Amino acid sequence: MKNRYDEQEAERYVALYPDIPKDLALRVYTSKLIGIESDLVLHGGGNTSVKTIMTDILDRELPVICVKGSGWDLGDIEPPGLPALELEYLRKLRVLGAMSDEEMVNQFRTHLLEASAPTPSIETLVHAFLPHRFIDHTHADAVVTLTNQLEAEQLLIQALGDKIAVLPFIMPGFPLAKAIADLHEAQPEAEAIILMNHGIFTFGEDARTSYDRMIDYVSRAEQFIAGKMALYSSSLSSEGEPVEPDPAMILPLLRGALARVDTDRGRQHFSLEVRSTPEIKAALARPDAESLLVSGVLTPDHVIRTKNYPAFLDFTGAEDEETAGTRIRTAITLYQERYIRYFSEQLHAKQVERIRLDSMPRVILVRGLGIVAVGETPRAAGIAADIAEHTVRAKVRSAAIGSYQELDESYIFDMEYWSLEQAKLGKGRPRPLQGRVALVTGGGGAIALGIGRQLLKAGARVFMSDIDEVRLDKVCRKLQQQFSPEMISPLVMDVADPVSVRKSFAHLVATAGGLDILVPNAGVAHVATLAELDEAKFQQVIDVNLKGVFNVIKAVIPIFRRQSIGGSIVINSSKNVFDPGAAFGAYSASKAGAHQLGKIAALELAEMGVRVNMINADAIFDDEGISSGLWDVVGPDRMRSRNLDPEGLKEYYRQRNLLKAAVHADHVGNGVVFFASELTPTTGATLPVDGGIPAAFPR
């Protein structure tokens, strides 16, 4: 591992934060150096501290310890992410015989210098009880790989030398803090402390020494493992080429099998993320892949993200859809039975009561495809995928060293159902479309912006598609400024071209695992009387507005069928379906045809639980600087005929509806969310979003 410490950069950090102690500025710097190394920490893992002096409100110098706070990631930490606590008071707690986790956190909160500061790391007392000014703690892959071995302590000494101290696994908290302090006092010459199945602590009197020791010891572990791997490489080959399953078939089948019904929340939808690097596929192709990789987590901290074990799927001999689906459902059922049995056994053994978490896997290893990570949100799936990728690599390396030794399930249960660990997930009431995947066509226009915004607010992951890449990018960037970037994906697609549609849907499925909500919204307009209407222009409008709707509905049907969890199609139709206008024949006819297709789809797809509804919108001009393609075409003519400017035209259309309401893109988005949320058993319906146009009342 590269040592990234740079004296000039360190001094830059000191200058960057002139209002805090120099050693705290250096603590921020080296914390970031640790945080950018995914082989050291992942997604908020690890913690760092510094002991320094601060001045209180009475101008008294006060010894404090600044420790990484909850909710902060070392990779982007800033001074507020290292809250200060009264050091001398915390050290006095060591005399206690025992202390509950809840009381420990209370002691942290009541001895912070800033009441609004984040809650310090659960391992704060480890940092406080050790005497060193700087302490670094990571879950380094290489070190944990060595600790998860049958002969771990001997291997650690071989790899790292004799200036380390080794401690058996102890749950984070007060007992661990006391045990580490006792160990250091017994072996004061140690430069690092290894906690089995957990990670490594290094320390020093200055930031560089502690950081240098972390990099040095992790590098020693990496070099030791690399030497073992060089001798072992010949055994990494697979026995023949595994079957490479078709993601377009497998992922929707898998996503449907994972969906579960929760009495409080309705059906639970999961986000998927696929990792398919050559290294991962090679690991899954090993003859011993299942026995090696379907084993416990590298460190118990991972269990809340990935559960203890992954599921394993091999589609050899199951190339057809029916057989593959049966194999998936069987594997998921067996996984759930194992998880429920583990939960029951631990409750009985510990004589405790807990509310069981869901029994679905969070990591699925698919031979020939890769890692499929599962999460309640795309971010959760991404975190699980990152951890799983590191875990697969570490377990392959562990096989070169000896025998992988997983931690006893008793410890895993304690961590998985530990209230302080569950708090990291920040669970709240789920949003109505959480876990669902939506596709909005015509994604470069004003209405699409409103639809996308409301779907995102409701928790859906949204793909926005358009043939115009520039307009599409502008809309997606606007949405990404307001929502998490991983929730929005652009998809360049020509809805009029069946080949483009099929390729785009295959990409969407390979990326997200499936699709739950389809919003055919792409449309073009052309103004001309029937006498003057050019046949080519008429065909162009039909191709996009009618054939485009047909193409995307046809493409989504196999996905809905494979998922077998229902779905929703919401067609952005038009008030012109019921109330057409002169010189607007191509648009009105094409929209009427698409509307009729929606009704047919409602009839045909109901047996799959798919709902198809239409929204008839009118007079939506623009949204946050994104113009409506339709009004770009028809607006100038309407303004000329009425002698109005753009604002006057908007006011004209507002005054003509019954409610005298300005209709916005978000109103259409609200309608889409209503239908997609399945609050009512409705299909084949038309919802006007026009302020009330009597001639356009559905009938």
Domain containing 149 — which CATH number? 3.40.225.10
Kindly state whether residues 476 and 526 are assigned to the same domain.
Answer: yes
Q: Which of 198, 233, 268 delimits the end of a domain?
A: 233
Burial category of 236 from C-beta neighbours within 10 Å (exposed 0-12, middle 13-18, buried 19 and up): middle
Tokens representing 4 are 């990234």
Q: Identify whether 241 is part of a domain.
A: no
Q: Identify whether 210 is part of a domain.
A: yes
CA-based Rg of the chain, rounded to a whole angstrom? 30
**pLDDT at residue 632, as a whole number:** 76
| Residue 539: other Cβ atoms inside 10 A | 13
**Which residue range(s) make up the domain with 301?**
247-425
Q: Could you say which DSSP state residue 119 is in?
A: P
Compute the average pLDDT of residues 77-91: 97
Kindly state whether residues 189 and 320 are assigned to the same domain.
Answer: no
Q: Identify whether 678 is part of a domain.
A: yes
Q: Which of 233, 262, 279 delimits the end of a domain?
A: 233
Residue 138 has pLDDT above 70, yes or no: yes
Residues in Cβ contact with 432 at an 8 Å cutoff, skipping those fewer than 6 apart? 458, 459, 673, 677
**Cα–chain center distance at 418:** 22
Q: Which of 184, 203, 233 delimits the end of a domain?
A: 233
**pLDDT at residue 147, as a whole number:** 97
DSSP string, 548-591: HHHHHHHHHHHHHHHH-S-EEEEEE--GGGTS--TTBHHHHHHH
CATH number of the domain at 313, please: 3.40.225
Side-chain-facing half-sphere of 266: CA atoms under 13 Å = 15
Kindly state whether residues 419 and 461 are assigned to the same domain.
Answer: no
Kindly state whether residues 518 and 406 are assigned to the same domain.
Answer: no
Q: Identify whether 242 is part of a domain.
A: no
Residues in Cβ contact with 259 at an 8 Å cutoff, skipping those fewer than 6 apart? 267, 268, 269, 270, 563, 565
Spatial CA neighbour of 68 closest among 78, 54, 53: 78
Kindly state whether residues 74 and 37 are assigned to the same domain.
Answer: yes
Range of lowest pLDDT (99-108, 281-290, 428-437): 428-437
**pLDDT at residue 537, as a whole number:** 96
Cα–Cα distance for residue pair 445/466, rounded to 1 Å: 9
Cα–Cα distance for residue pair 622/631, rounded to 1 Å: 8
Cα–Cα distance for residue pair 82/24, rounded to 1 Å: 9
Burial category of 162 from C-beta neighbours within 10 Å (exposed 0-12, middle 13-18, buried 19 and up): exposed
Compute the average pLDDT of residues 650-658: 92
Residue 428 has pLDDT above 70, yes or no: no
Tokens representing 187 are 């072996």
Burial category of 424 from C-beta neighbours within 10 Å (exposed 0-12, middle 13-18, buried 19 and up): middle
Spatial CA neighbour of 358 closest among 377, 380, 376, 379: 376
Kindly state whether residues 115 and 217 are assigned to the same domain.
Answer: yes
Cα–Cα distance for residue pair 127/177, rounded to 1 Å: 8
| Cβ atoms of 152 and 160 closer than 8 Å | no
Tokens representing 215 are 């990099």
**pLDDT at residue 222, as a whole number:** 97
| Cβ atoms of 48 and 135 closer than 8 Å | yes
Q: Identify whether 2 is part of a domain.
A: no
Residue 424 has pLDDT above 80, yes or no: no
**pLDDT at residue 240, as a whole number:** 61
Give the number of domains in the chain: 3
Q: Identify whether 1 is part of a domain.
A: no
Q: Dihedral, CA atoms, 421, 423, 425, 431, nearest 10 degrees?
A: 150
Compute the average pLDDT of residues 117-135: 97
Q: Look-up: residue for tokens 């590191």?
A: 390
How far is residue 498 from each of residues 203, 248, 524, 569, 599, measured CA to CA in Å?
62, 16, 18, 18, 21
Kindly state whether residues 53 and 187 are assigned to the same domain.
Answer: yes
Range of lowest pLDDT (425-434, 518-527, 608-617): 425-434
First to last CA, the chain: 70
Average pLDDT, the chain: 94
Kindly state whether residues 93 and 183 are assigned to the same domain.
Answer: yes
In percent, the amount of the chain with pLDDT more than 90 equals 86
Q: Please report, as a single letter, which amino acid is at residue 698.
A: P
| Cβ atoms of 294 and 367 closer than 8 Å | no
| Cβ atoms of 613 and 627 closer than 8 Å | no
Spatial CA neighbour of 46 closest among 68, 77, 23: 68
Kindly state whether residues 386 and 487 are assigned to the same domain.
Answer: no
Tokens representing 109 are 């909160």
Q: Could you say which DSSP state residue 543 is in?
A: I
Q: Please report, as a single letter, which amino acid is at residue 226.
A: A
Cα–Cα distance for residue pair 491/496, rounded to 1 Å: 15
Q: Look-up: residue for tokens 């409602």?
A: 602
Q: What is the pLDDT of residues 612-647, one digit of tens each?
A: 999 999 988 887 888 887 777 777 777 887 888 888
**Cα–chain center distance at 637:** 47
Q: Please report, as a single letter, which amino acid is at residue 312.
A: F
Q: What is the pLDDT of residues 485-500, one digit of tens each?
A: 999 999 999 999 999 9
Cα–Cα distance for residue pair 266/668, rounded to 1 Å: 25
Spatial CA neighbour of 287 closest among 331, 245, 236: 236
Length of the chain: 699
Q: Read off the pLDDT band of 261 (50, 70, 90).
A: low
Kindly state whether residues 607 and 499 are assigned to the same domain.
Answer: yes
Backbone angles phi, psi at 22, to 5 degrees: -55, -40
How far is residue 209 from each of residues 5, 199, 215, 498, measured CA to CA in Å?
10, 18, 10, 62
Quick one: three-class SS letters along 182-203?
HHHHHCCCCCEEEECCCEEEEE
Q: Identify whether 150 is part of a domain.
A: yes
**pLDDT at residue 263, as a whole number:** 47
**pLDDT at residue 268, as a whole number:** 85
Kindly state whether residues 420 and 442 are assigned to the same domain.
Answer: no
| Cβ atoms of 567 and 609 closer than 8 Å | yes
Q: Identify whether 534 is part of a domain.
A: yes
CATH number of the domain at 472, please: 3.40.50.720
Kindly state whether residues 448 and 354 are assigned to the same domain.
Answer: no
Q: What is the pLDDT of residues 216-227, one digit of tens each?
A: 999 999 999 999
Element holding 542 (H helix, E strand): helix 535-542
**Helix, coil or strand: residue 489:** strand
**Helix, coil or strand: residue 614:** strand
Q: What is the pLDDT of residues 292-319, one digit of tens each?
A: 999 999 999 999 999 999 999 999 988 8
Range of lowest pLDDT (196-205, 264-273, 517-526): 264-273
| Residue 531: other Cβ atoms inside 10 A | 6
**pLDDT at residue 237, as a whole number:** 54
Name the percent of the chain in helix, strand, coil, to the closest 5: 50, 15, 35
Element holding 527 (H helix, E strand): none
Tokens representing 207 are 């930031």
Range of lowest pLDDT (122-131, 255-264, 519-528): 255-264
**pLDDT at residue 497, as a whole number:** 98
Residue 232 has pLDDT above 90, yes or no: no
Q: Read off the pLDDT band of 649 (50, 70, 90).
A: confident
Q: Please report, as a single letter, which amino acid is at residue 211.
A: Y
Q: What is the pLDDT of residues 150-208, one digit of tens each?
A: 899 999 999 999 999 999 999 999 999 999 999 999 999 999 999 999 999 999 999 99
